[in-house]
Amino acid sequence: MLKEGSGGASGANPFGDEVRKDQGADRWTPKDPKIILETRGISFGNWLYFPDVAIRKGCVVFIRGESGAGKSTFFRLLNNTRNLSSGTIFFEGRDILSLDPLVLRQEVLLLGQNTFLFPGTVKENVAAFRATRGLDPLSEDVLHRFLNLVQLPVKGEDPVDTMSGGERQRLFMAICLAFEPKVLLMDEPTSALDAQTGHRVLEGIIEFAREREMTLLIISHDDGLRETFAQEVITIEKGDR
């Protein structure tokens, strides 16, 4: 596996001897407090091995690799929806296995390739997802701003069952962005969009994330998006270790 770039993701043990163990095996205090995610020697099964990386808060990191290399699995390991076979993942200096997985998944939020929407209107869907976290519905103005952010020209009263695949994908993006997680894992977020719309959507999301110092990890096969927006690139190669 190869890792490229020099700003937001660094190589194996990036802190050298200055990593300090603190208050038990699940807690580490890195030299650089800006590191939000770090992986050390992680694998899944006997066939997927991943690079050691340290990702800084607020960075835009693209993940690339051939089909079957384990890109989507890598995301699911990062937010503990898949179990590690070996190694350790740290979120804000803590071993993720020491954290409540539900809380972790709220902070390291996975926006997968499949959209999950309920029957009903746009507004009802947004409210339903927020209710699962005990959050109030968005006001009309705030909802409109999130819909604009993802280039979705619909109203809160519009039914979701008449939407195209690309529109549903963008609505689900808006729902996830409204949670304002610390890390957003985006798996092929523009796959159902044409190139121009995909570029505008990702441009808006990255600007939104930068204003909030939100970290973005993006799986994409679009070389143009990667060349335009990536601050760092991690390449995952099948079977490497």
Q: Which residue from 141, 201, 216 is spatially nearest to 167, judged by alpha carbons?
A: 201
Phi, then psi, of 162 in degrees rounded to 5: -100, 0
Residue 214's pLDDT is what?
98
Q: Within 10 Å of residue 77's Cβ, how many Cβ atoms?
A: 23
Residue 5's pLDDT is what?
43
Report d(CA 41, CA 89) in Å as an integer.
9
Whole-angstrom CA distances from 164 to 75, 144, 169, 178, 198 are 26, 19, 9, 21, 15
Residue that is written with structure tokens 């384990």 in the block: 70
Three-state secondary-structure class, residue 50: coil
Q: Which residue from 203, 201, 234 is spatially nearest to 217, judged by alpha carbons?
A: 234
Whole-angstrom CA distances from 107 to 7, 123, 179 are 22, 23, 9
Q: Both tokens of residue 190?
A: 């523009």
Please give the domain boundaries of the chain with CATH numbers for all domains. Answer: 2-234 (3.40.50.300)
Residue 12's pLDDT is what?
34
Contact predicate 217/61, CB 8 Å: yes
In DSSP terms, 177 is beta-bridged to none
Tens-digit pLDDT string for the chain (241 aa): 334 443 344 433 322 333 333 334 444 444 566 999 999 999 999 889 999 999 999 999 999 998 889 999 999 999 999 999 999 999 999 999 999 999 999 999 999 988 899 999 999 999 999 999 999 999 999 999 999 999 999 999 999 999 999 999 999 999 999 999 999 999 999 988 999 999 999 999 999 999 999 999 999 989 999 999 999 999 998 865 5
Residue 239's pLDDT is what?
67
Residue 240's pLDDT is what?
56
Three-state secondary-structure class, residue 145: helix
Residue 241's pLDDT is what?
55
Distance from CA of residue 229 to its chain's centroid? 15
